[in-house]
Structure 1
Amino acid sequence: MAHGFTGRRGGVSTGLVAGLNVGLGSDDDPVAVRENRRLATDAILPDADLVTLHQVHSADVIHVIEPIPTDTRPKADAMVTDRPGLLLGVLGADCPPILFADEAAQIIGAAHSGWKGAFAGVGEATVAAMERLGADRGRIVAAIGPCIQQKSYEVDSGFLQRFCEADPENERFFREGKPGHYQFDLEGFIAARLAGCGIGTVHMSGVDTYSDVEGYYSFRRATHHGEPDYGRQMGAIGLRE
């Protein structure tokens, strides 16, 4: 079993997305993106087939049994497999990738979890899909990759209200910011949801994609700077042949 989280350093992309941009949805040169994806795959699980999704901020999970061509990527935000040689990759640029593993059962999963996916239960859905393959949630280890941290994630009162109406306990993931605004702890919210569904261990990176300009791409930072494009990093996990 092998896993890893990429950042911005390395790679062959230039310009606004200079570095190891693995995002097919960016305006980057497709040749550069393919090379970056090859470099990332070789660094994590050499000779594996990288499988990625057309991510749509859903809680939909795909059971992967064979390689999926990039031009036929299904619309979903999580994957599970028990097949060696497949590297499950999820992309983000502030939204964290989450990697899951039940090493004893040799069953793995990967999920893209922005606030919409987390709120809809993409983490819990991934765990349930792993269980259907024979995993035991008590043995599952989850690792939340680099993402926008609370200090950088400003939201409005309507955002807070949505979460608190769903569960008043969610108020603990917000702290007051400037008038009428709050700072949201996305990573803490995801970790609490995962722990609440009974998985064994949850690791948090604590790395802020927004403030680490050299190390990571950030959609929100690019937006605040008025940049027309942004790169993506990836979290990926695979079973060795």
Structure 2
Amino acid sequence: TGNLSHTRDSILSGFSTYQNRVNLLKKLDLTTYSYFSPLQIHTDIIIEVNQSNKNNGFYDKSNANEGDGCITKDQGILLVTTWADCVPVIFYEFNKNIIASVHSGWKSTYKQIVNKTVDKIIEMGGSLDSLLVAIGPAIKNCCYEVGSEFLSYFKGYDECFIYKEEKLFFDPSLAVYKQLIDIGVKKENIDLSNLCTKCFDKPNFFSFRKDPVNFEGQGAFIALKRI
């Protein structure tokens, strides 16, 4: 469908960002559903979505809520976050029917946004035992070179770092996975993608590190089906 991000222009698809969102709903056969998309600013803010704000951020960013996660118990609302190298994370608590979509860049990962999302799910009546999590494609430590300051930001995350030719590389997806495991999410309930958005080319993901000028934003989304 092309770019879905509030902060990037649609270049490759030939359609406006709004039209790309309309096309997404059509392709999913969800044209009667609402579409919520936050204005992502690399925070740990999680927005609870309900009938009063369910279409915020659909037409443009003028009424989008600032934050990097969105959560709801309401049916018929597509929760959409966007990314281009950052870590997309989807949550589904199948006992209480709670869903969330999270954009976890390194700053949000440092602020433990996924842990706070789990806390919110539990506050809304959910349980770790019935929580499923999908960690989507993101840049990996094959390609994500970082500065030495990351070692202080992510102390205890040794498995997320590798050195290549005296350069330091970081795996943000693995850091998110570690955070989820550490707070008690079951290993068998986490699906961790091994695809790198920069170097994997089938499909060809949008990637800031690959094309910092013309990159766009793909979407990670989930909805509760109307019944």
TM-score normalized by the length of structure 1 = 0.83
From 88, 91, 108, the counterpart of 1:117 = 108
Partner Cα distance (1:21, 1:192) in 2: 30
Unaligned runs of 5+ in 2: none
List per-residue Cα deviations over 1:112-148 (Å, max 9, x = no partner).
Answer: 0111111101001111111121111221100011110
- Cα deviation, residue 87, structure 1: 0.6
- Cα deviation, residue 149, structure 1: 1.3
The answer to whether structure 1 residue 233 and structure 2 residue 218 are counterparts is yes
> Which residue is 1:173 aligned to?
160
The answer to whether structure 1 residue 21 and structure 2 residue 3 are counterparts is yes
- What does 1:30-179 correspond to in 2, within 5 Å? 31-44=15-28, 46-47=30-31, 48-66=33-51, 67-70=54-57, 71-164=62-155, 169-179=156-166
**Secondary structure in 2 matching 1:222:** coil
Q: Which amino acid aligns with 1:188?
A: L
Name whichever structure is richer in helix by fraction: 1
Partner Cα distance (2:26, 2:125) in 1: 28
**Secondary structure in 2 matching 1:138:** helix
From 184, 191, 196, the counterpart of 1:198 = 184
- Higher mean C-alpha deviation, range 140-149 or range 66-75: 66-75
Partner Cα distance (1:209, 1:43) in 2: 23
Partner Cα distance (2:69, 2:29) in 1: 19
From 207, 211, 223, the counterpart of 2:199 = 211
Partner Cα distance (1:94, 1:118) in 2: 13
- Contact 2:35 / 2:56 at 8 angstroms: preserved in 1? no
Structure showing greater relative contact order (alpha-carbon pairs closer than 8 Å, 6 or more residues apart)? 1
**Secondary structure in 1 matching 2:20:** helix
TM-score normalized by the length of structure 2 = 0.88
Partner Cα distance (2:75, 2:118) in 1: 19
Partner Cα distance (2:122, 2:27) in 1: 29
Q: Which amino acid aligns with 2:165?
A: K
- Cα deviation, residue 32, structure 1: 2.3
Partner Cα distance (1:222, 1:63) in 2: 33
Q: Which amino acid aligns with 2:208?
A: F
> Which residue is 1:3 aligned to?
none
Percent sequence identity over matched residues?
25
Unaligned runs of 5+ in 1: 1-10, 12-19
List per-residue Cα deviations over 1:14-67 (Å, max 9, x = no partner).
Answer: xxxxxx111221133795212221222333461321100010111111111121
- Cα deviation, residue 98, structure 1: 0.4
